[in-house]
Amino acid sequence: MAPNPAHTALWPAPHASEAVAATVHVPGSKSVTNRALVLAALASEPGWLRRPLRSRDTLLMAGALRAMGVGIEETVSSSSAGAGGPDAGGEAWRVLPAGLRGPATVDVGNAGTVMRFLPPVAALADGPVRFDGDPRAYERPLNGVIDALRVLGARIDDDDRGALPLTVHGSGALDGGTVEIDASSSSQFVSALLLSAPRFNQGVEVRHTGSSLPSLPHIRMTVDMLRAVGAQVDTPEAGGEPNVWRVTPGALLGRDLTIEPDLSNAQPFLAAALVTGGRVMIPDWPAHTTQPGDRLREIFTEMGGSCELTDHGLVLTGSGSIHGIDVDLGDVGELTPGIAAVAALADSPSTLRGVSHLRLHETDRLAALTKEINELGGDVTETADGLHIRPRRLHGGIFHTYDDHRMATAGAVIGLAVEGVQIENVATTAKTLPDFPDLWTGMLGV
């Protein structure tokens, strides 16, 4: 088969000849949008999502829910269209829940949220739902969801690898109950079971038995969003048993939710302020959030920037120096590529820990970052659970991205400081940030 020209196309990453000074409006959060879609689809009344992210991962989620019978109407709303308050204008999705049905086919692309959050929804559908996706999606772990759903009463046909492709034979209802899972390869296993659990006959008790659990803020996001639509959830944090989550069965409310900007997608823009000694403002940065990207305020401050959170948003100002960092990123793994890019440009070495599960993300991110930074003259080594990065003088070259949106944005950050970096397949950023090249050149004023 001839290679897709978009996948081999090279994008000359703009080099910054001066400090950036920009305000960047970052589109909505992937993780919040896809959870909101699932919860709205399972609710007992219509709901609104305002300022949803429209990217490959969220359009795949919306398409899959539509295939199972859910109505999702795209509208340009005004604040009078619902109870969304003064910020509610702009693009919106109105979600009209309906009896979930098969037969249906779901394309998960390479979206972890789609491939993990939807099999439990499909188990509630009346009929078979077939799941398929990109070649890489076949390699990403799904066994935690498949095995758990079988214990909870679902019938699933897979090829015994515990991965895609598979068919969930929905029977219109699922018993639910208690299940043990090892979610050390992805927090999304836990989130997936909790999100649909209010609709299981007995709810769910999820007991995580693995040695570690990545991305805890994403599980908190799941719990907070469930509670916001009326679900009763017991968590380890609320004085419950360690590693045990319980969801009580019950109807979910339709909500009017304005989606926060994607703070992980704000990362390359904030990094630009750090790398060029400039200043970038991200409007609408939430004062309180479960998004892991909020940790950037602390991490980029330690690396040499200073952050100010105002009523208007977050302002990051670079000092002109970038320092190395020794940090456990287990809670915020999706920030690793962007932090590695900044670390490669720092004045001292860095150690990034706690992220062995990144080997099973969009690509093997530890191997990909090591290879691509080293091919530009860097000195990165993989450890058992992360990366050692010793900054070197880098040179231009092709930065391969392996169909990974965060590799592409990491390469763009390096390109700010290093002339002649070309990003392969920058279009892969469409997974979560379709406007990236325009937002990037807009920030730089080129």
Ligand X SMILES: O=C(O)C1=C[C@@H](OP(=O)(O)O)[C@@H](O)[C@H](O)C1
Ligand Y SMILES: C=C(OP(=O)(O)O)C(=O)O
- Give min distance, CB of 227 to ligand X, in A: 16
Q: Which one of residues 218, 246, 279, 295 is an interface residue with ligand X (CB under 6 A)?
A: 218
Tell whether residue 363 is a contact of ligand X (CB under 6 A): no
Q: Is 215 annotated as ligand-binding?
A: yes
- Give min distance, CB of 389 to ligand X, in A: 20
Please, which residue, 295 or 357, has the CB nearer to ligand X? 357
From the list 124-132, 166-174, 181-189, 390-398, the region that binds ligand X by CB under 6 A is 181-189
Given the DSSP bridges, would you call strands 279-283 and 313-317 parallel, antiparallel or unpaired? antiparallel
Picked from ligand Y, ligand X, none, the partner binding residue 357 (CB below 5 to 8 A depending on kind) is ligand X
- Give min distance, CB of 40 to ligand Y, in A: 19
Tell me which DSSP letter residue 15 carries: P
* CA gap 382, 376 in Å, rounded: 16
Q: Is 212 annotated as ligand-binding?
A: no
List of residues 6+ apart from 366 with CB closer than 8 A: 355, 356, 358, 359, 382, 386, 387
Q: Which one of residues 33, 110, 184, 188 is an interface residue with ligand X (CB under 6 A)?
A: 188
The DSSP H or E segment spanning 220 is: helix 216-228
Token pair listed for 14: 């703009």
Picked from ligand X, ligand Y, none, the partner binding residue 191 (CB below 5 to 8 A depending on kind) is ligand X
DSSP string, 31-84: HHHHHHHHHHHHSSS-EEEES---SHHHHHHHHHHHHTT-EEEEEEE-GGGSS-
Q: Is 79 annotated as ligand-binding?
A: no
Q: Which one of residues 20, 31, 376, 423 is an interface residue with ligand X (CB under 6 A)?
A: 31
Interaction residues for ligand Y, span 344-363 (CB under 6 A): 361-362
Q: What are 75-83's contacts with CB under 8 Å, separation 24+?
A: 77/48, 77/50, 81/48, 82/48, 82/50, 82/256, 83/256
- Give min distance, CB of 85 to ligand X, in A: 25
Tell whether residue 14 is a contact of ligand X (CB under 6 A): no
Tell me which DSSP letter residue 13 carries: P
Tell whether residue 235 is a contact of ligand X (CB under 6 A): no
From the list 54-62, 198-206, 214-222, 390-398, the region that binds ligand X by CB under 6 A is 214-222
With b for 16 or more beta-carbon neighbours within 10 A and e for fewer, the 20-36 pattern comes to bebebebbbbbbbbbbb
Please, which residue, 276 or 429, has the CB nearer to ligand Y? 429
Whole-angstrom CA distances from 196 to 37, 251, 374, 424 are 12, 11, 43, 38
Please, which residue, 215 or 370, has the CB nearer to ligand Y? 215
Whole-angstrom CA distances from 29 to 94, 245, 291, 353 are 17, 24, 8, 25
Active-site residue flag, 91: no
Tell whether residue 336 is a contact of ligand X (CB under 6 A): no
DSSP string, 241-282: -TTEEEE--------EEEPPB-TTTTHHHHHHHHHHT-EEEE
Q: Is 187 annotated as ligand-binding?
A: yes
Tell whether residue 112 is a contact of ligand Y (CB under 6 A): yes
> What is the signed CA dihedral for 62, 67, 72, 75, rounded to 10 degrees?
80
- Give min distance, CB of 432 to ligand Y, in A: 6
Q: Which one of residues 94, 255, 297, 406 is an interface residue with ligand Y (CB under 6 A)?
A: 406
Helices vs strands, H then E, count in the chain: 14, 23
Q: Which one of residues 187, 290, 336, 350 is an interface residue with ligand X (CB under 6 A)?
A: 187
> What is the signed CA dihedral for 228, 287, 283, 214, rounded to 10 degrees?
-70
Tell whether residue 429 is a contact of ligand X (CB under 6 A): no
> What is the signed CA dihedral for 318, 320, 325, 329, rounded to 10 degrees?
30
Active-site residue, from 205, 260, 334, 424: 334
- Give min distance, CB of 364 to ligand Y, in A: 12
User: Which residue(s) pair with 126 in the sheet?
Assistant: 101, 171
Cis? peptide before 268, omega within 30° of 0? no
From the list 42-50, 180-188, 321-329, 419-427, the region that binds ligand X by CB under 6 A is 180-188
Please, which residue, 185 or 350, has the CB nearer to ligand Y? 185
From the list 14-22, 110-118, 296-304, 413-421, the region that binds ligand Y by CB under 6 A is 110-118
| Residue ranges at the known binding site | 30-31, 35, 112, 140, 186-188, 215, 334, 361, 365, 406, 431
Residues annotated as catalytic (active site), given as ranges: 334
| Residue ranges at the known binding site for 3-phosphoshikimate | 30-31, 35, 186-188, 215, 334, 361
Interface residues with ligand X (CB under 6 A)? 31, 112-113, 186-188, 191, 214-215, 218, 333-334, 357
Interface residues with ligand Y (CB under 6 A)? 111-113, 334, 361-362, 406, 432
